[in-house]
Amino acid sequence: MIIKSNLNKKRKIFLIIITIFIIFSLITLNTYANETDEVYLVSIKGTIDLGLSSYVQRALEEAVLNKAKMVILEIDTFGGRVDAATQIRDKIMSLNIPSVAYVKNRAWSAGALIALSAEYILIDKSASIGAAEPKPADEKNISALRAEFTSTALSRGRSEDIAAAMVDKDVEIKGIIEKDKILTLNAEQAIKLNFVDGNASSIEEVLNFLNLKDAKIVYIYPNWAENISRFVTNPVVSPLLLSIGFLGLIIEFWTLGWGIAGSIGIISLSLFFGGHIIVGLAGFETIILFVIGLLLLLVEIFLPTSTSAISIDNISKAVPASKPFFNTVLEILSGFSKTFLCASDEPMVVTIPSPTLAIIVSSPAPPTKRSMLALTVTLAVAIT
């Protein structure tokens, strides 16, 4: 009886051990199932603007926070703003997880810089990369962007000369590109020159190339605020909004009451400033300065011209050489490739070929004066 009792105890202990083993095995299997490698996919399509930069930076931060195995940047762009591209480039370069640029159709201009910043570059057979000459193509812009391209290529082990030839037409590479031409590589050329790591026709092929065919793809999409900011900070839309806003307010200043023009002006300016605030390019102090400028303009309109204490002529009389000074300031500001009004009573508009932030026209008819402070504040806001 004692022997039988001991056998029963041993049997119970054995069953308990087996049960515990099975439970822990199931828990372990479930844990491994939940630890499937995650690859984050970030889409860089359309014009590269500051709204896109905001979205990409958020997506990359989310990938790092969630310990993604890798980040894939799917690129299809003709280019866009250099400042937005450099922001994205800096964020990619600072990642502590691997990154791969997948050029779906084209990575031109600013898009080429983003592609170069990734650890790996894969290119579709029908895609191309390059064509990164800045606009305007003056010595300063070319020098700066060329250095950006070459330093990025060097840090990723790619040809500096090829990267430079995409920006500067003075670069000549025997058998690749002649002088006075900008380099753009198709897929076959890029692979032959070892400028990219391979080709792929789909995200699945990208994963296969990276030995991550079983990885889970996590898609990161822009949120509503980023979509709005992308629209209003677009290099074409942004200056139009500001110009329409100013035009609407100017029309309202010259007419009685409040009408459609003023409403359109307010809406346009709200979209302009709101979009820039969302992407972090401006704060509420910018709006405060802008409102102060508008109030000073109203003061100039409703005060008699002869008694205006803050008009251009009166400031010129009080402060010698103020007109030449402000004309010099405006000439310097025109280097920002914007449109500005010279400090003069004569009708004059100085237009620099480029997207125009604001068009302000002076008129000899009353009110002929505009607050210099308002003009200065307006210019300061426009530059932001």
What does each of the 384 residues of the chain score in pLDDT, given as a tens digit? 555 555 566 566 656 666 665 665 555 444 443 445 899 999 999 889 888 998 999 999 999 999 999 999 999 999 998 999 999 999 999 999 999 999 999 999 999 999 999 999 999 999 999 999 998 888 999 999 999 999 999 999 999 999 999 999 999 999 999 999 999 999 999 999 999 999 999 999 999 999 998 889 999 888 777 777 777 777 777 778 877 877 777 777 677 667 787 788 777 777 777 666 665 555 555 666 666 666 666 666 565 554 444 444 444 444 444 444 444 444 444 443 333 333 333 333 333 333 333 333 333 334 433 444 444 344 444 444
Judgement on whether residues 187 and 135 belong to the same structural domain of the protein = yes
Judgement on whether residues 259 and 204 belong to the same structural domain of the protein = no
Question: In 3D, which of 43, 76, 40 has the Cα closest to residue 61?
Answer: 40
In a domain, 185, yes or no: yes
Write out the H or E segment, with its range, that includes residue 374: helix 372-383
In a domain, 16, yes or no: no
In a domain, 266, yes or no: yes
Tokens of 254: 């010259």
Find all residues with CB under 8 Å of 19, minimum gap 6, and list them.
none
Q: Among residues 226, 260, 287, which one ends one of the domains?
A: 226
Q: What is the pLDDT of residue 241?
A: 80
CATH code of the domain in which 167 resides: 3.90.226.10
C-alpha torsion sign, points 354, 142, 92, 184 = positive
Domain holding 307, by residue range, is 236-383
Judgement on whether residues 63 and 176 belong to the same structural domain of the protein = yes
Cis status of the peptide bond prior to 367, with omega within 30 of 0: yes
The whole-angstrom separation of Cα 111 and Cα 147 is 16
CB 118 within 8 A of CB 101: yes
Judgement on whether residues 353 and 249 belong to the same structural domain of the protein = yes
In a domain, 1, yes or no: no
Neighbours of 337 (CB within 10 A): 14
Judgement on whether residues 70 and 211 belong to the same structural domain of the protein = yes
Secondary structure tally for the chain: helices H, strands E: 15, 10
Q: What is the pLDDT of residue 111?
A: 96
Judgement on whether residues 116 and 206 belong to the same structural domain of the protein = yes
In a domain, 5, yes or no: no
3-state SS class at 324:
helix
Find all residues with CB under 8 Å of 205, minimum gap 6, and list them.
122
Write out the H or E segment, with its range, that includes residue 30: helix 2-34
Query: Any idea which residue has 């209003």 for tokens?
Result: 232
The whole-angstrom separation of Cα 354 and Cα 79 is 16
In a domain, 2, yes or no: no
Judgement on whether residues 222 and 260 belong to the same structural domain of the protein = no
Name the burial class of residue 106, with classes exposed (0-12), middle (13-18) and buried (19+) by CB atoms within 10 angstroms of its CB. Answer: buried
Q: How many CA atoms lie within 13 A of 309 on its CB side?
A: 0
Find all residues with CB under 8 Å of 92, minimum gap 6, and list them.
60, 71, 73, 99, 114, 117, 118
Q: What is the pLDDT of residue 10?
A: 58
Query: DSSP assignment of 51-68, as one string?
Result: HHHHHHHHHHHHHHHTT-
Q: What are the backbone dihedrals phi and psi of residue 222, each rounded to the nearest 5 degrees, phi first?
A: -65, 145
For the stretch 226-265, what's the b/e string if a residue is b when 16 or more beta carbons lie within 10 angstroms of its beta carbon? bebbbebbbbebbbbbbbbbbbbbbebbeeeeeeebbebb
Q: Among residues 174, 193, 226, which one ends one of the domains?
A: 226
Judgement on whether residues 284 and 217 belong to the same structural domain of the protein = no
In a domain, 207, yes or no: yes
The model carries a pTM of 0.64
Tally the domains of the chain.
2
Judgement on whether residues 191 and 296 belong to the same structural domain of the protein = no
Q: Among residues 226, 251, 285, which one ends one of the domains?
A: 226
The whole-angstrom separation of Cα 131 and Cα 144 is 16
In a domain, 21, yes or no: no
For the stretch 195-212, what's the b/e string if a residue is b when 16 or more beta carbons lie within 10 angstroms of its beta carbon? bbbebbeebebbbebbeb
At position 39, the amino acid (one-letter code) is: V
Judgement on whether residues 138 and 279 belong to the same structural domain of the protein = no
Judgement on whether residues 297 and 268 belong to the same structural domain of the protein = yes
The whole-angstrom separation of Cα 209 and Cα 197 is 10
Query: DSSP assignment of 253-307, as one string?
Result: HHSSS--HHHHHHHHHHHHHHHHHHHTTS--HHHHHHHHHHHHHHHHHHHS-GGG
Terminal Cα distance for the chain, rounded: 94
Q: What is the pLDDT of residue 102?
A: 98
Judgement on whether residues 222 and 245 belong to the same structural domain of the protein = no
